[in-house]
Structure 1
Amino acid sequence: MKTFAYLAVVAVALSACGQQPSKGGAEKAAGPSASGRDQVWAAGSSTVFPFATRVAENVAKTTGGRPAKVESLGTGGGFKLFCGGSGAGFPDVANASRPIKKSEFEQCGANGVTDIVEIKIGYDGIVIANAKSGPTYNFKLDQVYRGVAAELPSPTGFAKNTYKNWKDVDASLPAQAILVYGPPPTSGTRDAFVELGLEKGARMIPTLDTLHGKDEEAFKARAHTIRGDGAWVDAGENDNAIVQTLTKTPNALGVFGYSFLENNMDTVKAATIDGVAPTFETISNGSYPVSRSLYIYVKKANIGVTPGLREFVNAFVSDAATGKGGYLQQRGLIPLAADAHAAQKEAATALTSMAAPAK
């Protein structure tokens, strides 16, 4: 009887702990379910993953708390989970290598995820690379498009892409079979490659540029559709895995973020795009054609509820992390200009909720 009485007292005590009123309005807004997790949870972009992991490690060292749980699911996968609902079963932070889409923002709202804080953390470039032992590539964007697009203009309209060799695409390119390992459709890296690379390349082709002027949706359907005949291989969300594949397959090309190039320059090299090599300078000044912004999205209601979330956000926008010369720059992040970085610090401090995106 004493044992049962003791267990009953423990059960009541535990129940009371779980139902204690939280401190502050933010905790009340998030509800008891959000306080059921004792660490920050961030999910999304494979490109942002190593940056978020490093921030999580630093915060844990300085606060003594548990490091944030960081998952690499791809930008689309991260937003899907982030927008799935509020509470402990859903991430506090979505890591993203592109802005949130209107449809994703609306899905968040439909599931009770409101007051989202958008924070830009820096820049990245999409590179096309191969093993250092392989040939040197100097691409123009229309050549990249002709190599990986599912269909190309023909005298009768559009026809299946039958190019087998880069030399067939253009005589200036190496005589190598077309084999490209790249990110899957759920990846923000894939989105950026398609929108910043393939769309621009497609518009350099007169037939497709004319189609863009007449019917933008039809143009995008052509420009965004990548070959499915084995010339392009969806290699998963892990960009490090693509790098490793290139070292074993010197005749192949890989598409991934600049940070992975910078951290593996001993084994891989990047192609130039329209005569510009991806470097810190060319990405930060926008002269490299396939550059993009990187973000984290934060549930404002979870600040003050999830232990360590405020510290995680503040650390991400700190001068030590994302400022010029910060430790994330050493990992390949291209920092924002000083004034833009200061603006993001202010947004993180004020927890300014974003407006709905236009598209």
Structure 2
Amino acid sequence: MSRISRVRLVVGAALVLALSLVVAACGGGGGSQGGGGEPVSGEIAVEGSSTVQPITQAAAELFKEQNPDARISIGGSGTSDGFEAFCKGDTQISDASRPIDVAEEVPVCEENGVEFIEIPVAFDGISVVVNKQNDFATEVTSEQLKTMWEPAAEGEITRWSQVNPQWPDEDINLYGPGTESGTYEFFNETIVGNEEEVNRSDYEASEDDNVLVQGVAGDQNALGYFGYSYYENNRGDLKALPIDGVSPSTETIRSGDYLLSRPLFIYVSTKALKNNDAVKPFVDFYLSEQNLSRLVEAAKYVTLTDSLAQESRTQYEDQTTGTVFNEEGAPKGGDLEAALKQAQ
């Protein structure tokens, strides 16, 4: 077994154990069984964001403790691949680190008769990190990040000193998610700012954030970016850089002061809620007032505000379908909470 596989297993087991203790201490799992109080069975397929995957995986493991006949498969191939499978009807739930694309993905869902409920579950702050042994990069500006990652940098910006003359004249090795990742898309839209939402291609890419963590942790000349949870779970090997003077933290991510703050979602098929005996009990369990914040905290993401969490649950309970985002990926109501209220 590779070192990465061992790390993944240890982190996953520790997360599930921590969650089990927290939920047990607070009086059980919060509605994890069917309407008759009996354990549920059935198969649920989840695909999508590797950023959201730890939250959904933790929910699934705890759910299966009380429903051992429920079979839940969770992939982390990336938000775009997740939506592709979801809109074809191949999965019942899609994990997403960005909103569904109104111009390209929603029409595919419509063509295939897939109605969905869009449910915010947490906040994330994409963390820009360097190796723990890096003693010169203490912060970075958004302009410096653009200099590193824009398409024009490919084959040209290869040394730290080209980004900041006070940094050493040494190779800079970049690590980031692949092109199917919602993290990739959000980072490029925010930092690079081009309409194509693409960056340079000469970097170490992976859809698996664990691979990126291990890459940066093992390379003193590395700089990479990925979800906040993966940084928090590996603080001993990584150093997160403040962007424009603001570090990623629970407070700055929830407030939006941190530049790379964003909501995380699950998308649930309404057909699956009606026709799959396991889906509704699982989503009820996932989103319960008792469980959601604990799942998010244990996965080391940032919980929704109380009011936004309630709007998110109402969106699900009322089975309000469709997206509250426009073609530019912005909430229709000005902010996410207002957009959810407007949609209900």
Equivalent AA in structure 1 for residue 235 of structure 2? M
Shift, 1:138, TM fit: 0.9
1:105/1:357 contact within 8 Å kept: no
The one of 157, 162, 168 aligned to 1:168: 162
Q: Determine the C-alpha separation between the residues in 2 that align with 1:161 and 1:261.
A: 28
2:228 maps to what in 1? 258
Q: Percent identity?
A: 29
1:338 maps to what in 2? 306
2:254/2:302 contact within 8 Å kept: yes
1:225 maps to what in 2? 198
Shift, 1:320, TM fit: 3.1
1:230-245 mapped onto 2 (5 Å cutoff)? 230=202, 232-234=203-205, 236-245=206-215
Q: Determine the C-alpha separation between the residues in 2 that align with 1:355 and 1:239.
A: 27
2:95/2:267 contact within 8 Å kept: yes
TM-score of the two chains, using structure 1 as the length reference: 0.75
Shift, 1:225, TM fit: 3.5
Question: Which secondary structure state, in structure 2, belongs to the residue aligned with residue 181 of structure 1?
Answer: strand
Q: Determine the C-alpha separation between the residues in 1 that align with 2:92 and 2:123.
A: 22
Shift, 1:357, TM fit: 4.8
Rg bigger for which structure? 1
CA RMSD of aligned residues (A): 1.9
1:101-112 mapped onto 2 (5 Å cutoff)? 101-102=101-102, 103-112=104-113
Equivalent AA in structure 2 for residue 251 of structure 1? N
Shift, 1:173, TM fit: 3.9
2:43 maps to what in 1? 39
Q: Determine the C-alpha separation between the residues in 2 that align with 1:353 and 1:164.
A: 46
Question: CA separation of 1:256/1:55 partners in 2, compared to 1, >3 Å: closer, same or farther?
Answer: same
Q: Determine the C-alpha separation between the residues in 2 that align with 1:181 and 1:45.
A: 17
2:132 maps to what in 1? 132
2:185 maps to what in 1? 191
1:70 correspondence with 2:38? no
Equivalent AA in structure 2 for residue 354 of structure 1? G
2:120 maps to what in 1? 120
1:265-322 Cα deviation digits (max 9, x unpaired): 1111111100111111111111111111100001101114223211221122122332
Q: 5+ residue gaps in structure 2? A: 1-40, 328-344
Q: 5+ residue gaps in structure 1? A: 1-36, 153-159, 200-218
2:280 maps to what in 1? 310
1:354 correspondence with 2:325? no
Equivalent AA in structure 2 for residue 313 of structure 1? V
Question: Which secondary structure state, in structure 2, belongs to the residue aligned with residue 68 of structure 1?
Answer: strand
Equivalent AA in structure 1 for residue 110 of structure 2? G
2:49/2:78 contact within 8 Å kept: yes
Q: Determine the C-alpha separation between the residues in 1 that align with 2:62 and 2:268.
A: 19
Question: Which secondary structure state, in structure 2, belongs to the residue aligned with residue 180 of structure 1?
Answer: strand
Question: Which secondary structure state, in structure 2, belongs to the residue aligned with residue 253 of structure 1?
Answer: strand
Tell me how many residue pairs correspond in the alignment: 285
Instruction: Report which stretch shifted further, 164-173 or 176-185.
Output: 164-173
Q: Determine the C-alpha separation between the residues in 2 that align with 1:356 and 1:320.
A: 26
Instruction: Report which stretch shifted further, 99-108 or 314-323.
Output: 314-323
1:314/1:348 contact within 8 Å kept: no
Question: Which secondary structure state, in structure 1, belongs to the residue aligned with residue 246 of structure 2?
Answer: coil
Question: Which secondary structure state, in structure 2, belongs to the residue aligned with residue 101 of structure 1?
Answer: coil
1:285 correspondence with 2:255? yes
Q: Determine the C-alpha separation between the residues in 1 that align with 2:170 and 2:248.
A: 22
1:249 correspondence with 2:250? no
2:92 maps to what in 1? 92
Shift, 1:128, TM fit: 1.1
Q: Determine the C-alpha separation between the residues in 1 that align with 2:83 and 2:56.
A: 16
Question: Which secondary structure state, in structure 1, belongs to the residue aligned with residue 322 of structure 2?
Answer: coil
Q: Determine the C-alpha separation between the residues in 1 that align with 2:168 and 2:96.
A: 34
Question: CA separation of 1:269/1:320 partners in 2, compared to 1, >3 Å: closer, same or farther?
Answer: farther
TM-score of the two chains, using structure 2 as the length reference: 0.78
1:327 maps to what in 2? 295
2:55/2:295 contact within 8 Å kept: no
1:206 maps to what in 2? none
